[in-house]
Amino acid sequence: MTNEVLVSVQDGIQTITLNRPEARNAMTLAAATAIAQALDDLDNNDELRVGILTGAGGFFCAGMDLKGFLRGERPSIEGRGFGGLTEKPPQKPLIAAVEGYALAGGFELVLACDLVVAAENAQFGIPEVKRGLAATAGGLVRLPRQLPYRLALELALTGDMFPAPRALESGLINRVVPAGQALEEAIALARRILANGPLSVAASKRVIMESQDWSQDQMWELQKALTEHVFSSEDAREGSAAFAEKRAPVWKGR
């Protein structure tokens, strides 16, 4: 695996760190390939429960590496999208821990994550129009689903940056913390998720993600198909027993 991406694991949390701080963690094909491999491991390894995506050196990701683009390189993986993530997010929860700039493809990585913790100095944006490009890695299709329509359109048409405090006010991100503390807060949030039943977490994420396109006359049956196994699981019985016995549950994921 390239040293452009660092992957660490601790207590069921996988942390993926973009490691090109000299280039504001701009995305290369090598980095995208490494991220895709890490996310496959996140989904396939039962010991891993939550992922965190962050960047080194006080930056998240400034987007596509333009020098690579001029050489004909596109940092996307077939079937996975930009950074190995945007078209196929993991089934397990993924938290973005953002310091500094998350621009263009970097912002689109954030939009593909489930939860977002940002430093107070973080800046988001899709400035592709300023470079004669378009935010086709999720910015144009995800942003209107995560922000009010006119605000999303303003960001897409002007390419202006969107500061973390305003992103919090708009409901785009979950937490704003002092600079340098985004990863620490993301780990704390991941641990809160880890305390819950893994089957319940997985089913809850899937329903929320997929139900955006469900009609009212089909949503209850579709939800049932994705959640019925949770209620008949060993973990469901364990959760109820632990509550009655006033102890922490011991999850088995089955």
pLDDT per position as a tens digit, 215-233: 999 999 999 999 999 999 9
**Domain containing residue 205: CATH number:** 1.10.12
Q: Are residues 81 and 27 in the same domain?
A: yes
Split at pLDDT 50, 70, 90, the class of 117 is very high
Average pLDDT, stretch 23-36? Answer: 95
Domain shared by 58 and 164, yes or no: yes
| Residues noted as catalytic | 108, 128
Instruction: Output the CA–CA distances (angstroms, integers) from residue 184 to 59, 163, 176, 230, in the order listed.
Output: 15, 20, 12, 31
Looking at the fold, whether 142 and 239 belong to one and the same domain comes out as no
Work out the average pLDDT over 117-133. 95
pLDDT of 68 reads 75
> Structurally, how many domains does the chain consist of?
2
Residue 207 is predicted with a pLDDT of 95
**Rounded (10°) angle between helices 234-244 and 198-210:** 120
Residues 148 and 228 in one domain: no
Mean pLDDT for the stretch of residues 76-99:
96
45, part of any domain: yes
For residues 190 and 214, state if they share a domain.
no
Task: Report in angstroms the alpha-carbon separations of 164 from 27, 43, 100, 107, 188.
Answer: 22, 29, 10, 12, 19
Of 70 and 82, the one with more pLDDT = 82
**Residue 1 banded pLDDT, cuts 50, 70, 90:** low
Residue 79: inside a domain = yes
| Residue 254 is assigned to a structural domain of this protein | no
Q: How far is it between the farthest Cα atoms of the chain?
A: 63
pLDDT score of 69: 72
Together in a domain, 83 and 66: yes
Same domain, 185 and 207: no
Average pLDDT rounded to a whole number, residues 61-86: 88
